[in-house]
Amino acid sequence: MSPLRIRVVGNPVSVNAMYKRRMSGQVYVVPEAFTWKQAVWATVLQHSPQPCVCHALIPPLRVDVTFYGVRGDADNYLKATLDGLKLALRIDDKHFTTVTAHVVRATKEPRGCLIEVTSAAQETQA
């Protein structure tokens, strides 16, 4: 069992749709991407028995994400999802050494994702 296994319901945002450019040239994060990051962050904190689940997670970390009901490529949805996850865990995403992404297109599951985080160090010892 993963130390962290959560289901985030909402609309994952592809990295292709995550940023826009103002007429001045300044790049900004679109509100939908901000909302998705916040949904990931809030769901992690809501399902954590402690204020921060990072106490049970020792870097390096393995992150497995399965996206439900999306149309794009799995890897395009990772950026905003991992950004929200790193904020909630208070762990720099450079410690996410193994990251996998999957897409389940036709599903009865609500749109969103399943995130599983484990210690990658345990894998190398096994």
For the chain, list the domains and their CATH numbers. 4-125 (3.30.1330.70)
pLDDT in tens, 90-110: 989 999 999 999 999 888 889
Q: Which of 80, 67, 73 is nearest to 107 (CA)?
A: 67
Closest of 12, 33, 36 to residue 109, by C-alpha: 12
- Cα 76 → chain centroid: 11
Q: Which two tokens stand for residue 71?
A: 């149309």
pLDDT at 1 over 60: no
Question: For all residues of the chain together, what is the average pLDDT?
Answer: 89
For the chain, give me the number of helices (H) and strands (E)? 3, 6
Q: Indicate the residue type of 96.
A: F
